[in-house]
């Protein structure tokens, strides 16, 4: 793995790249190569935090599943059951929307993937309100609007996770940020951060984006974390988490453990529901197929970091790759390195003998989901 990452960093001219490969009961490898910030010499470490973008949806769905085990919510809970003020004002297309549809991108909500749309949503809420109040106000407003798509059709949306988080807050009477800590981070002994890691601690990895002027390393420039737009309180539950490769490994092992039929943070039945139900679609993950085996994958970016993850239940194997850059090179590197690491640990996997073979379709999404 270390050799793969060193080659990828040089080939794709990355500031830093990190990766983990795990089985349910063992860590196969955890590697971090490169610098935290271009033009500086501080080396990235396996304990450094990387922003994972929409890969955070798997964390959100895990917290929701924990609340369902506690009886606070049900997979068939509807926003109108939680927000009584909606009443008859909810749009007919959202009246029967369920929690599982919100997490599975099947509620017909608009995507809210672009910076422009996210900022427009921010203008719908009171700036002086708490994050929890903002999410509730946004959820109530959005559910009165016209659906963007028919119900039960795959239609990717960050808004579904914003509404699901607001429902969880209301049902548990606890802010989403606290729910993540109490139901996931603390029990697993991991550390989660919000937004760009360097925004809180300048010694953490900095994000980098495409440089459109002058001469720079791989056309990249660092992004000042205090100036770059983060997902904010409305869409934070959909993709504004940062964590270290080591902590990511612990999270992935929990899912592999459940898929092997063993209880952990969640009951094995809850983990299986997240990956295989209802009707076969995943909650917080994307269905895929790798070398003929069912897989759960996801990619994510907030604009300056990129993350890719692949989990193969039948092989008891999960791999995650993290890069502190969002250039096209970084995008390609995250996907290709994930494929290469999978080939290391899948004895039956074909070895890539050419760039065409290395880029075979269907292994992982080709572009990050924001």
Are residues 308 and 222 both part of a single domain? yes
Distance CA 251, CA 358 (A): 28
pLDDT at residue 81 tops 60: yes
What is the number of structural domains in the chain?
2
Q: Where would I find the beta strands (DSSP E) of 236-304?
A: 241-243, 286-290, 293-301
Q: Is 99 contained in some domain?
A: yes
pLDDT digits (tens, 9 = 90+) for 173-191: 999 999 999 999 999 999 9
* CATH number of the domain within which 325 lies: 3.40.710.10
Do 122 and 23 share a structural domain? no
DSSP string, 33-76: EEBSSTT--PBP-TTS-EE-GGGGHHHHHHHHHHHHHTTS--TT
Do 19 and 105 have their domain in common?
A: no
Residues 158 and 261 in one domain: no
Supply the angle between the helices 245-259 and 57-69 in degrees, to the nearest 10: 50
Q: Mark whether 123 and 159 lie in a shared domain.
A: yes
Residue 360 has a pLDDT of: 35
Evaluate whether residue 35 is within a structural domain: yes
Q: Are residues 285 and 337 in the same domain?
A: yes
pLDDT digits (tens, 9 = 90+) for 230-266: 678 899 999 999 999 999 999 999 999 999 999 999 9
User: Which residue segment(s) compose the domain that 78 sits in?
Assistant: 72-173
Please report, for the domain that includes residue 78, its CATH number.
Answer: 1.20.58
Residue 151 near residue 101, CB atoms below 8 Å: yes
Span 55-72, average pLDDT = 98
Q: Which of 286, 348, 337, 284 is nearest to 315 (CA)?
A: 348
In a shared domain, residues 160 and 301: no
Looking at the domain assignment, is residue 60 inside a domain? Answer: no
Q: In this structure, what token pair is assigned to residue 299?
A: 């990619």
249: Cα within 13 Å, side-chain hemisphere: 18
Tally of CB atoms within 10 A around 63: 25
Q: Summarize pLDDT for 265-298 with one digit per residue, the tens.
A: 999 999 999 999 877 789 999 998 887 788 999 9
CA-nearest of 365, 368, 362 to 294 is 362
């Amino acid at each position: 793995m270390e050799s793969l990452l060193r080659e990828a960093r040089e080939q794709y001219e990355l500031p830093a790249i990190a990766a983990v490969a795990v089985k349910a009961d063992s860590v196969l490898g955890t590697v971090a190569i490169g610098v935290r910030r271009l033009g500086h010499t501080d080396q990235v470490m396996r304990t450094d935090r990387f922003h994972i973008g929409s890969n955070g949806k798997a964390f959100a769905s895990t917290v929701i599943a924990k609340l369902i085990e506690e009886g606070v919510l049900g997979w068939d809970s509807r926003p109108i059951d939680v927000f009584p003020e909606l009443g008859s004002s909810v749009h007919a297309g959202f009246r029967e929307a369920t929690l599982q549809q919100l997490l599975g991108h099947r509620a017909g909500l608009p995507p809210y993937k672009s910076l422009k749309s996210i900022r427009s949503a921010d203008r719908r809420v009171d700036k002086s309100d708490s994050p929890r109040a903002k999410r509730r106000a946004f959820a109530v407003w959005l559910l009165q609007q016209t659906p963007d798509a028919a119900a039960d059709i795959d239609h990717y949306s960050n808004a579904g996770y914003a509404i699901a988080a607001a429902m969880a807050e209301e049902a548990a009477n606890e802010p989403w940020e606290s729910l993540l800590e109490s139901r996931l981070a603390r029990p697993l002994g991991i550390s989660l951060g919000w937004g760009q890691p360097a925004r809180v601690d300048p010694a953490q990895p900095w994000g980098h984006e495409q440089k459109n002027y002058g001469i720079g390393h791989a056309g990249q420039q660092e992004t000042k974390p205090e100036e770059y737009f983060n997902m904010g309180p409305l869409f934070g539950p959909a993709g504004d988490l940062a964590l270290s490769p080591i902590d990511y490994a612990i999270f992935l092992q929990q899912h592999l453990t459940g898929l092997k039929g063993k209880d952990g943070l969640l009951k094995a039945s809850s983990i299986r529901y997240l990956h295989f139900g209802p009707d076969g679609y995943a909650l917080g993950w994307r269905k895929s197929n790798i070398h003929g085996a069912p897989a759960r994958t996801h990619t994510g970016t907030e604009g300056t970091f990129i993350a890719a993850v692949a989990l193969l239940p039948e092989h008891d194997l999960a791999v995650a790759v993290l890069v502190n850059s969002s250039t096209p090179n970084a995008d390609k590197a995250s996907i290709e390195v994930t494929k290469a690491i999978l080939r290391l640990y899948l004895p039956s996997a074909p070895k890539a003998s050419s760039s065409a073979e290395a880029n075979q379709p269907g292994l992982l999404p080709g572009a990050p989901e924001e």
